[in-house]
Structure 1
Amino acid sequence: MDATASDLIKDSKKALNVLIKQPEIDPKRISVIGHSEGTMYAPRIAIDNSTIVKNVILMGTLAQNPVKDLYYYPVVTSPLDYAKQVLDKNNTDSISIKDLSAYQLLTKFLLPISILNTNSTQDIAKALQKNFGSKESIDIEKELQSLFIKKYDNLTSFSLSKCNLLRPCPIWWQSISNLEPNPSIIGNISKSTDVLLLNGENDSQTPVQQAFLLQQRLTELNHPDHTLITYPNLGHLFSPSPKWSTGQGPIEQYVLADLYTWLEAHSGLSHSSIYTTKHNTTLDTNSHSSGG
């Protein structure tokens, strides 16, 4: 893929221009939604189209930049925590090769995809054995962590010429890493544009702390209407997920209900001045028209 962040932003602006020309569209009630990588683009689209964008919704929020730093969490921090907290049952600070080979959550960062595609845990164990010699167990802090870091360095190298499911494309990677981080540009969003942040508390790709950073920045800037809702037990795709990986189910209905209710209250279509949430979420708001 040769598309850059600039290309994707331009495409989004073109789509917005097409949208507002449709006769059934009210150009004063336009909302822009970005998810994950899209949360880097949606604020920029709103900033450059401040007269027509009424609302910005960011789901699975990216705040940190360079994005390279964010990759450290899913590639090093999260799998290392998993090894310590889940697999090291006897608190020995080590893990057996046999146990390690059974968890693709960890081995996907240590072995080629071609080996992982096999259904044989025994074959995976043999491949791991080549990395660790004749050892039956490995030290989590020293050996396992160093391998995760090596994988991270390989994934985030701009010198790579190819991309795959685990490796970002160099052209795109360089372009998005050169973008100013969201906390630096979020203050340029018009005060008349309302902002909604949604994040799963078990998001293993864009950790919920990213949403907290952006919400804190909006508060510091005295943005008049911004709301953060976090969801226990939901992951990056807003479906039930452990904190170590991303669940692949559909978006939970109550998340969609929150999104609809917020849009209704912030689009001029509703006379309601109070936004409430009735399920088990965390709602943080700094808004003249919102409460919870």
Structure 2
Amino acid sequence: MFEEKVTISEGTKYPLNGMLTIPNGDNHQFPAVVLVQGSGPSNMDAKVGNNTPFKDIADGLTEKGIAVPRYDKRTFVYGKVMKNDVSMSVKEETIEDAIHAVNLLRKHPKIDQNKIFIIGHSFGGMLAPRIDAEGGDFAGIIIMAGSPRKLEEIMMSQNETLINSLNKFLRWIAKKQVAAFSKKFENLYTMTDDEAKAKKLFGGVRAYYFKEMGDHPASEYLTKLEKPIFILQGEKDFQATIKDDFESYKEILYHKENVTYKLYPNLNHLFMPSVYGEIMKVKKEYSVPQKVDKQVIEDIADWILAN
């Protein structure tokens, strides 16, 4: 295995540092997989607390004969500049760079052009079908701990979970805060784009960010897909749930034979062993240094090599 420094989105306003890991082997072209991070600013290793899941996945897959580029997320490097852009959407935040990454792979002499896949984790998994449709044109799609729901639905659902874990008095206070939070999303889809761009929700994020993403639901792309899809989830994931997310994928794709599903016992949102298993202890959960489960990496490698 060797590592090659790359620049994703080179020649644009937002060039990003990246690393391409390539298996050993002369005169040989390898399958490859583009990694797409979850929500929020994130470095190329998708570092969360003391864990680096994308480095684990890249190293593990490369050992299995699969090349893997990973790169800093645009908001991780240029977040201060981008927060002033009222038109910012997931397209600028995530989609464009993922397409630049696959285009870089298509020009690389060591990559098999017909065997380039995508792994979207969490928020990245939500966007993976859209990235494919808008220019990724992958050989297959892998969704790790993703969701077919709208982003605001997930946020409100996580708030509800938090409320239910509180004592009676705190629950009463939190319910008022959550009611105020959910009110911000009222009339989201009846606003014009200009109205949505003018409306701040929280932390400088505009209503347009949610509206634009919600106007492109994952289900719309998934139902049209004929290429292979692999959907993975940890049973102890408290951010994406079996009932609302994993099972929802099955409902949307019930008529398709091109989909593989796998649940992993005792694994959390990062596909690492569950420590506390509670959303209230999310920071403590990810402060424990661990590695992505080897079985997960083996299953992904086997699926890629079989497709």
- Residue 6 of structure 1 is aligned with which of 74, 81, 91? 91
**When the two structures are superposed, what TM-score results if normalisation uses the length of structure 2?**
0.57
8 Å CA contact 2:90, 2:213 repeated in 1:
no
Matches within 5 A, 1:113-128: none
Quote the offset at 1:172 in angstroms: 7.0
Of residues 102, 123, 132, the one that matches 1:46 is 132
Match of 2:157 in 1: 73
The counterpart of 1:259, out of the listed 300, 303, 307, is 300
Amino acid at match of 1:236: H
Q: Closer, same or farther in 2 for the Cα pair 1:34/1:160, shift >3 Å?
A: same
In 2, the alpha carbon distance for the partners of 1:169 and 1:14 equals: 25
CA 237–149 in structure 1, closer or farther in 2 if over 3 Å, else same? farther
**Partner of 1:278 in structure 2?**
none
Q: Please say which structure displays the higher CA radius of gyration.
A: 1
- The alpha carbon displacement at 1:145 in A equals 2.6
Checking the alignment, whether the CA contact within 8 Å between 2:148 and 2:218 is kept in structure 1 is yes
Q: How does 1:85-234 map to 2 (within 5 A)?
A: 94=168, 138=169, 140=171, 142-151=172-181, 153=183, 159-160=199-200, 163=203, 169-170=205-206, 173-174=209-210, 176-189=212-225, 191=226, 193-208=227-242, 209-220=244-255, 223-234=256-267
Change in Cα spacing, 1:239 to 1:173, as seen in structure 2 (3 Å) is farther
Structure 1: distance between partners of 2:299 and 2:170: 45
1:64 CA displacement: 0.7
Q: Which runs of 5+ in 1 are unaligned?
A: 88-93, 95-137, 267-292
Deviation, structure 1 residue 235: 2.0
Structure 1 segments (4+ residues) deviating >4 Å: 151-158
Q: List alignment gaps of at least 5 residues for structure 2.
A: 1-78, 83-87, 189-195
Task: Tell me how far apart the structure 2 counterparts of residues 260 and 56 of structure 1 sit (CA, whole Å).
Answer: 13
Give the aligned CA root-mean-square deviation in angstroms.
Answer: 2.9
What amino acid is the match of 1:170? R
Q: Contact 2:89–2:213 at 8 Å: present in 1 too? A: no
Shift of 1:57: 0.2
Partner of 2:270: 237
Instruction: Tell me the TM-score normalised to structure 1 length.
Output: 0.60
Percent of aligned pairs with the same residue? 21
